[in-house]
Structure 1
Amino acid sequence: MMRRLPPFVLFLALLPMVLGCGDAGNQPADQAAGPDTGASGANEPTRGTIGFSALTLTNPFFKVIADSMKEEAAKHGYELLVVSGERDVKKQADQVSEFIVKGVSAIVLNPCDSQAIGPAIQKANEAGIPVFTNDIKYDGDAGEVVCHIATDNYQGGRLAGEAMVKLIGDSGGKVAILHFPQAESCQLRVKGFREVIDAHNAKDGAAQIEIVAVLDGGGVRDEGFKAAKDTIEANPDLAALFAINDPSALGARAALEAAGKADQVRIIAFDGQKIGKQAILEGKIVCDPVQFPDRIGKATIEQIVRHFDGDEVPEEILIPSELYYQEDAKNDPELQE
């Protein structure tokens, strides 16, 4: 005859079975779904990848754009893949093709050539990948760009012209321009600058500011040095120089120092990079219309996210520049670091 187990013994025997047969639907969500991935969510998949081909990453301005884009993209769950076209439109077109093969969600470009990049943009369009540009605008109709985000370069060029009139308007004199004509942004800067100078010269009795040379300074220090050296040799009485960015302006400054004309020829640049601000503080550059590359990068990602969310996105967003003089540099926290 089988003996009947005492109630408390029966309870102990059944306890493991009771504890082991819980309903998964009543478990905490993280346990029911599988292994705990941790509070950080580091193992969660991203929403996608955004490909960014910069004009160049040797220029700190584009590095700031890339860094701010990467930071903002992460906030929205996207990864940013950054490459550098190094001013070579063929190389940049190949990078666009690689982005397409990788299946990126969106492509952002600083066009190495405002017109020649068109077929690459069209190729991305055909693959169903939206294209955005920042700083340098696409100037063609072969492809379609959703939105362009940049400094108001025309407005900035006018500010540079106003600064030049303030600098030598009373006496007049010869001025050279260090250009980078392949970039639409630089075309706008020079256009705005010229318009202000022309308006000054048209005034009755105005001391004439004569633009004697417009040279391709390449937007880099070495080419800026060479262009300025050639200009000084051809125009020994040059009074001032407008450079479309800080690196070419600093190359020009080095050429002036080498020629013993650093005090004779004054420089107005463009950008407001830290190296430019430092040069303004030291009196090597008179002033810059400053840009805000961090705002450009952040706004680019914001518009991409809005596009994917189905919101209406403007064709162009322009961020005004501001004149920055030595007095501003003396009070700039960035230069106190």
Structure 2
Amino acid sequence: MKKTMWNLMLATTLIGAICGCGKKGPATSSTAPATSSSKATPIIAVSVLTMNNPFFKEIVDSMEAEAKKSGFELLAVSGDFDVARQQNQIKDFIVKKVSAIVLCPCDSKAIGPAIQEANAAGIPVFTADIACTAAGAKVVSHVATDNYLGGRMAAKAMVEALGGRGKVAILDFPEVESVLLRTKGFQEKLAELNKAADCDITVVTILPGGGDKAKSFKVTQDIIQAHADLAGIFAINDPSALGAVAALENAGKLKQVKIVGFDGQPEGKKAIAAGKIYADPVQFPDQIGAETVKLIVKYMNGEDCPAEYLIPTALYRQADAAADAAK
């Protein structure tokens, strides 16, 4: 059955795949996905969480550059934080008979049935940045930041920023697996560090900021009203951190409350340089995009693909911003 489906896809796009987690792709007789005599260029279809966040735009741009090198066309759309919209986009990809699908899921669990539809159609699915955690949904490879270790790095930065003492809030986005890993790493590292006599940091509230600047602005306003003695905020991405910055500036509390963000996007780095954000564990979205396409090409050529490919973060402080400015 699988071999028959594969032959059908070859006839259409010269390349196809049968989805399987961390397994070899189907062997092909060609090392390239397309030739000049191809009737149609094979398509990698991508649906990201949002195009309004520069992080995801950079993932798409790097995927497009890498896809072009390998003879693929990239079709990229935005899920706009709407899982129903993203599900419909996947249905459209299936109708178009694309060669591979890449997702940054709007909801790590709710996206499962749509992925299963792609599985049934014989189209390999990959995830980038945000994993799918739905039972029964088959993903070939997941490429992402090591978000758990990044969260632990953020906790160390928070302890450093606060001198080991203070009350902290978390601006969360629990619908996506990458954020769950960040907050888990942050809280577990804090618990470890709090065992030392000179460290006593308490997480007093965890509220959803939606990974969005405007929503995080409003949530931060609520947090500082409820916790007048708040000392720090861990924001799960740069838009959240920038929303917190705006709320604290508006309340005249930016010097009182230290912010640790996550991403290291240009606006975030600019705020770090200005001393408005203490630090960011920096992600490398260009690597996420490029490595995802490289794994797709490997899979198409019948090579082994890892179930997970993680990229470490690097902590970015004001001193790093100063070094960048001096270059």
TM-score (norm 2): 0.87
1:311 is displaced (CA, Å) by 0.2
In 1: Cα distance, 2:45 partner to 2:199 partner: 50
Give 2:223's aligned amino acid: T
1:67 aligns with 2:24: no
Q: In the alignment, what sits opposite 2:175?
A: 182
Displaced runs of 4 or more, over 6 A = 41-44
1:140 paired to 2:119: no
Secondary structure of residue in 2 paired with 1:138: coil
CA contact under 8 A between 2:159 and 2:199: conserved in structure 1?
no
Alignment counterpart, residue 211 of structure 1, candidates 195, 203, 206 = 203
The one-letter code sitting in structure 1 at the alignment partner of 2:166 is G
Shift of 1:142: 2.4
1:44-92 CA-to-partner distances (Å, cap 9, x unmatched) read 7554001100000000000000000001001000000001001111100
Secondary structure of the 1:211 match is: strand
The question of 1:309 aligning with 2:301 is answered: yes
Give the Cα separation in 1 of the matches to 2:320 and 2:37: 45
Alignment check: 8 A CA contact 1:200 1:206 kept:
no
Alpha-carbon distance, 1:181 to partner: 0.5
**One of 260, 275, 292 as aligned partner of 1:268:** 260
Query: Displacement, 1:214?
Result: 0.3
Normalised TM-score (structure 1): 0.84
Distance 1:270 1:45 in 2: 44
> 2:149 and 2:192 mapped to 1: Cα distance?
15
Partner in structure 2 of residue 7 of structure 1: none
Q: Kindly state the Cα deviation for residue 208 of structure 1 after the two structures are TM-superposed.
A: 1.4
Separation of aligned partners in 1, 2:308 and 2:126:
10
CA distance in structure 1 between the partners assigned to 2:199 and 2:307 by the alignment: 41
Higher relative contact order (CA 8 A, sep 6+): 2
Q: List runs of 5+ in structure 2 lacking aligned partners.
A: 1-34
Q: Which amino acid aligns with 1:182?
A: E
Q: How does 1:15-26 map to 2 (within 5 A)?
A: none
Write out per-residue CA displacement over residues 201-259 of structure 1, whole angstroms, 9 at most, x where no aligned residue: 222x3341010010101101001101110000000110011000001100101000111
Q: Deviations over 1:258-311 (max 9, x none)?
A: 111011001000000011011111111011000000000000000000000000
Kept in 2, the 8 Å contact 1:169–1:209? The answer is no
Please tell me the root mean square deviation across aligned C-alpha atoms, in Å.
Answer: 1.5
| Contact 1:174-1:212 at 8 Å conserved across structures | yes
| Structure (1 or 2) with the larger CA radius of gyration | 1
Matches of 1:169 and 1:244, distance apart in 2: 21
Instruction: Find the aligned partners of 1:223 and 1:182 in 2 and give their Cα distance.
Output: 15
- Quick check: 1:288–1:324 contact (8 Å CA) kept in 2? yes
Q: How far apart are residue 332 of structure 1 and its match? A: 2.1
Question: 1:127-175: per-residue Cα shift (whole Å, max 9, x none)?
Answer: 00000000000012221000000000001000001111112244x1110
Contact 1:46 1:77 in 2 (8 A): no
